[in-house]
Structure 1
Amino acid sequence: MRTVRLFIFVCSIILSLSFNVLINNPDKDKLLIEVITYVMERGHFNPKKIDDTFSQNVFRNYINEIDGQHRFFLQSDINNFKRYQKEIDDQIKSSQISFFNLTYNRLISRIKQVEGFYEELLLTPFDFSVKDSINLNFESLPYAQTLNGLKKIWRKRFKLSTLEYYSSLKEEQISNFTQDTTYQIKSDFILEEQARAKTKENIVNYFDIISDVERKDWFSIYVNSITTEYDPHSNYFAPDDKEKFDQSISGKFEGIGARLQKKNEKVEITEIIVGGPVWKAKALEVGDIILKVAQKKEAPVEIGSMRLGDAVKLIKGPKGTEVYLTIKRVSGLIEEVVITRDVVELEESYAKASIIIKNKKLYGFIELPKFYIDFKDQNSRNAASDIKREIELLKKRDIKGIILDLRNNGGGSLKTVVDITGFFIDKGPIVQVKSTGGRKDILYDEDPSIIWDGSLVIMVNEFSASASEILAAALQDYERAVILGSKQTFGKGTVQNIIDLNRIISGGTHGDLGAVKITTDKFYRINGGSTQLEGVRSDIIMKNQYSFIDMGEKDQKNPLIWDSIQPARFSKWSNHSNYEFALKQSSLRIEKNSNLLLIEEQALRIKQQQEEYIYTLNYEDYLSELDENKKIAKKFEILKDYKSNLFFEWIPDPKSPIDEMVKEKKSRWIESLEKDLYIEEAVNILEDLNINLNTRPLAQIKK
């Protein structure tokens, strides 16, 4: 199996590094640079030469990451940093970090300076009658020359923010007076003061967040400026980031099942996760504030002054253990709550299905947000097992076709995508893989059974990436499914593996080093082409709001190139004879669809707005622009009001708990499906695929 080989490949890197790397440097940051560089040079699919060009790119990207909006640095700082512009490569090779230390110390100093003067900038009222504007095209703007120049930049930004609040308050006031003529109108002076206070509140919150960012977090940004120079998907994961990545891939974690936010030194419950320990015990409510956290037989710890991430670490823990929370209820009551931690599943990450009813015929709809799997427990639920279960449930309803929605699915497990693709074909190749060193392999579906052999439509968009593209490409090459969606998918044709750095450096004297996600393979379609940069081109193109926005792999920094290899041997699907007919009929419908023409116009408008960087600071001009935008937006309101003639019926998961919250979420989901014109066209395509062309009169076929 290819999955075993991938595992062996990663282990071979780890073992070779464990025996060959000699580390005598006690400094953890320097150690990280040395180990990560070693891993990238020997494990990356396309290692780069670390030279002056590499150095200049790292320099530019790192400075942009830490202060790309010119909030803190002066031009003199940038000039000072530039002496390292062609020396970062030498520092990487010698595991030195003087460049990082210089930028970090200066950044912290500048942040403190801004934090020290921003309040004085908000003491004086803003005059919105003055003709003025602000340019937010940071790539073309120089840094401030002096501290006074930096203050002027911040003052202008505050003015823009306050103008937006001021305008909203004016509009709200007019609305209130229209509804109630006894409403007390406030003066413009008071409204400006209130708007300025809101701006101040936001900047206070901003600096609260900034204060939580530690040196190690800034260093992670520096390290990632190095790894992403190899390609956009090679990243360093600090220990906390690795845990979040594992959670995103598996769709679950161990804890209490509540989402938190920190504001004004308070850790507040913002959401209760359905099915989690808190939900089952009805122990907490949204709005409750956690004051203290204690483990069994330990003293409670106040968490208000902690970083949110550190507070979450105290609250989360292994399944079956208890955590003691001192809670301040919304009512003001303070009490201690004991919660037994458990596995919390994030249902929004998992596949879900619905029945679609049209003309008394039933069709199946499956939405898959990602190709999830728990690498620590591969026998637990994963995308493949869930999709198989959903198909079996749909088949019991005698459906006439299936729509698999991969829109916004950014990928995930390679194993699950091979398994899922196999549900729709007999047996044969799914994807070809070329690994570091040039070794080629083909991943097969070796199971001759077919879970679904009926009509099939795959929905994609510009955000369908990686594993989504493997599935769509394979089923397109087999002519097993019709691919419906954007002109092309994202275009990520690479495979990454995770290398635990703690397995490289023995002894653990430096603490948790984190991990590296490194690009080790490229995958290719069974027809030999790559999805890298090119993505999967839809059989039927339906434009959406983002059709003219550059957001694919080809628009990222340092993507790997497109290439091709020898095709694999495979036979196309032969169980339907009107594939071309369905494509032609769909094209005819789309040409006449007035809503799609409007969506294309809206997409061009969004493109235009993205290219606008100059914002007025004059109230009258701001109002004129606002009115113009409202007029344009009103033209597109018809799209919000759209509702198809399809009827949707949610299929509940028999294993998942159901309460009013779950019903409300599913109701909103169904409502969104009813308003989705892309799904309507997918159903039309299924109808066309099912038509028996030999028994239908020509007039009926033309519709």
Structure 2
Amino acid sequence: MEKPAADNRQLISLIMNGFNAVHYAPQPVNDAFSGKIFYEFIKRIDYNKKIFTQKDIDQLSKYKTSIDDELNDSSYEFFDAVMNLYRNRIDMAYRYSKLSIESPFTFSDDESIETNSDKLSFAPDSNKLKDEWRKYMKLQVLQQLNDKLVSQQKAMEKSDTVKAKSFDLLEEASRAMVKKNNEEFFSRVHELEDNDFMAVYLNCIANIEDPHTEYFPPIQKQNFDIQISGQLEGIGAQLQQRDGEIKITSIVPGSASWRQGQLKANDVILKVGQGNAEPVSVEGMRLDKAIQLIRGKKGTEVRLTVKKPDGNQLTIPIIRDIVVIAATYAQSVIINSASQKIGYIKLPEFYAPVDRKGGRSSSDDVKKELQKLIAADVSGIILDLRDNGGGALVEAVKIGGLFISSGPIVQVRQREGKPNVMSDTDPAVVYSGPLTVMVNENSASASEIVAAALQDYHRAVIIGSDNTYGKGTVQNLFDLDNLVSRQQNSLPELGTLKITIQKFYRINGGATQLKGVVPDIILPDPYAEIPNGEKEDKYAIKWDEVTPARYEPWNATYSLEILKSQSEKRLAANPSFQLIKEEADDFKEQSEHTSYSLNYKKFTQQQAELDLKQKKYDAINADSELLKVMNLDVDLSRVNADSVTAASNTQFIKNLKKDVYLNEATQVVLNMKQE
């Protein structure tokens, strides 16, 4: 028997009480809080500003300062008012979209459309909204048409037997595809129940506390079994749905996506295609439904059309496969450079035995890799924490302790009281030689703790992009069903609440929150000018500092200023890094220009220019071999144990050989050795 829907008043009461009781920095529930909920909820259900008009917003504005009173009373009049209006307006939007695509478009008109909703205002009335839908549908057709014309041209260049289809036929086919996608979009919206929207509403409230505080509604039996994190077995990615978009939050090490290499964190999935079949738009689709499209049998192809952070669209083919477990663990290789051997350790995440890793811990594994590299007589070591989103805090403390004598690694504070200093208590130093730590904008949480500690001790040189992600908080999960008296199984399930309960501080006293870790040596990054990280979320918990812990800096034998000067000279003479700087400037320009021409000639010219630029930047990774990389002799039997592991290892080595960032980190370690 299916359980009834959860009682919304009870849910609101439990959630608000939870924030007040345990959240690290609970927000005051006042008129300002009310106003944030007002705008956030409307934004999330009408993220493109194509459902409501400004008149509708004005009509709803009477609730702008009363939602806080509703929350204190566990009521939801604002939610009901929005939903009543939304159901009416979604039908109107459907009629406008359907009408606009019935006849062929005229692409000779010189008009444009703004695609960044933050730059848009709500349409003043229904007539203007109708025209906005016309332009929106026209853009969809234009994009489809351009793709078909480009594909046709490529096919004709490959074979003389391919016959060209007329512009009118391709336009008709493009319009038919957009019409199909549009019908599916509105069908999905109509399938959503008030409970689905209530989950969105409750998450608006939670995310205003801070971006990592979330409400997870019950996972119903009709939804297939996925983890709350959204981890996929088919391609190996973690997804999050926010503001109508399905975004990649991380790539699972050893997965099909990880091996393919093009799918990255912060990519937004627009369409999902099965092999060569026409792709399906996932705009407005529930996350679990989108995941059903992405998952599939091992060996089959899924094609993801994604929007990159700079606004460019890319179709990525991925062959579904199992996760190669060995690639999720710490692993090391040798880099032969300038007649010296440099050790390299890749740590994808800070795993612990409780993380279903077969009893293995990342600290034990890193220690073993260090010992193997020391036995191989390396001159220096590189610890790679790029794209490492964190994990077990205790593992970060232990790993930091491998490189120092006993001492503090991180400070952790509850919302009340003094910080608790977490220290390495083992006086032994596993490795005391030259050390660099590689980070990037996706290094977060536990990665930032290790990098910050080694930087504060002057134990390692941190090298990477402008700064790390800046997530300096800890969350805990609370099962709401355990917080209420439940006498029979027929009672509704309530879901789970994730609440931020702690905050990290460096041993020098500064928080890693927002600021992250600024590397000692900063390398150019393609997305350096694109807003990214915790600091870009307006509801993020603020940075602050506490009293520094007592610690003794490492007696460094290198001059950081000299190392930086040497690196700057190499970067200036390196064509790849100069190209990366150009790419960063172009990405910034592209991300700011979000208006598209709806004139066919201008649109296709714009797309051709973007494609040409991308081909130029593809040369960054075109070098066949920058580094000589090889497995340690003691690892050869393991990495060749079976064909899947061997193939994964081959790809791992191949990528390292072409890695311009690793090449620079290697030079820095060599310079440290020389001083």
Aligned ranges for residues 497-646 of structure 1 at < 5 Å? 497-507=476-486, 510-574=491-555, 576-577=557-558, 581-646=562-627
8 Å Cα contact 1:502/1:508 also seen in 2: no
* Equivalent in the alignment of 2:435: 456
8 Å Cα contact 2:475/2:502 also seen in 1: yes
* Equivalent in the alignment of 1:429: 408
SS for the counterpart of 1:125 is coil
Does 535-544 or 194-203 show the bigger shift? 194-203
Equivalent of 1:218, from 172, 191, 197? 197
Matched letter for residue 658 of structure 2:
K
% identity of equivalent residues: 35
Aligned ranges for residues 222-621 of structure 1 at < 5 Å? 222-240=201-219, 309=288, 349-373=328-352, 375=354, 380-507=359-486, 510-574=491-555, 576-577=557-558, 581-621=562-602
Unaligned runs of 5+ in 1: 1-25, 262-271, 277-285, 289-305, 317-324, 331-342, 694-703
Does 533-542 or 372-381 show the bigger shift? 372-381
* Cα shift readout 1:598-625 (whole Å, capped 9, x = no counterpart): 2112111111111112110111111332
* C-alpha distance in 1 between matches for 2:644 and 2:97: 43
Shift of 1:27: 5.7
* Cα shift readout 1:627-662 (whole Å, capped 9, x = no counterpart): 433444454343232344212235769779954444
* Equivalent in the alignment of 2:281: none
* C-alpha distance in 2 between matches for 1:126 and 1:690: 66
* C-alpha distance in 2 between matches for 1:662 and 1:201: 42
Tell me if 1:56 matches 2:35.
Answer: yes
* C-alpha distance in 2 between matches for 1:655 and 1:217: 48
Does 164-173 or 600-609 show the bigger shift? 164-173
* Equivalent in the alignment of 1:333: none
8 Å Cα contact 1:354/1:650 also seen in 2: yes
SS for the counterpart of 1:572 is coil
8 Å Cα contact 2:253/2:327 also seen in 1: no
Does 195-204 or 595-604 show the bigger shift? 195-204
Does 486-495 or 648-657 show the bigger shift? 648-657
* C-alpha distance in 2 between matches for 1:311 and 1:485: 34
* C-alpha distance in 2 between matches for 1:470 and 1:274: 24
SS for the counterpart of 2:399 is helix
* Equivalent in the alignment of 1:265: none
* Equivalent in the alignment of 1:17: none
Task: Identify if the C-alpha distance between structure 1 residues 404 and 480 changes in structure 2 by more than 3 Å, giving closer, same or farther.
Answer: same
* C-alpha distance in 2 between matches for 1:173 and 1:409: 41
8 Å Cα contact 2:640/2:646 also seen in 1: no
* Cα shift readout 1:78-136 (whole Å, capped 9, x = no counterpart): 22322211111011111002222232343344444444664443221122122221122
Tell me if 1:138 matches 2:117.
Answer: yes
Task: Identify if the C-alpha distance between structure 1 residues 581 and 146 changes in structure 2 by more than 3 Å, giving closer, same or farther.
Answer: closer
CA RMSD of aligned residues (A): 3.8
Task: Identify if the C-alpha distance between structure 1 residues 648 and 198 changes in structure 2 by more than 3 Å, giving closer, same or farther.
Answer: farther
Shift of 1:443: 0.2
* Cα shift readout 1:250-288 (whole Å, capped 9, x = no counterpart): x8x9x9999999xxxxxxxxxx99999xxxxxxxxx989
* C-alpha distance in 1 between matches for 2:238 and 2:445: 31
Task: Identify if the C-alpha distance between structure 1 residues 649 and 184 changes in structure 2 by more than 3 Å, giving closer, same or farther.
Answer: same
| TM-score normalised to structure 1 length | 0.77
Structure of greater Rg: 1
Matched letter for residue 669 of structure 2:
L
8 Å Cα contact 1:581/1:688 also seen in 2: no
SS for the counterpart of 2:20 is helix
* C-alpha distance in 1 between matches for 2:521 and 2:382: 14
8 Å Cα contact 1:212/1:307 also seen in 2: no
* C-alpha distance in 2 between matches for 1:153 and 1:344: 44
8 Å Cα contact 2:351/2:357 also seen in 1: no
Aligned ranges for residues 89-128 of structure 1 at < 5 Å? 89-115=68-94, 118-128=97-107
Matched letter for residue 66 of structure 1:
I
* Equivalent in the alignment of 2:140: 161
Matched letter for residue 548 of structure 2:
P
* Equivalent in the alignment of 1:689: 672
Shift of 1:460: 1.1
* C-alpha distance in 2 between matches for 1:287 and 1:626: 25
Matched letter for residue 679 of structure 1:
L
Unaligned runs of 5+ in 2: 240-251, 257-272, 276-284, 301-321
Shift of 1:405: 1.7
8 Å Cα contact 1:469/1:536 also seen in 2: yes
Equivalent of 2:656, from 647, 664, 673? 673
8 Å Cα contact 2:254/2:648 also seen in 1: no
Aligned residues: 604
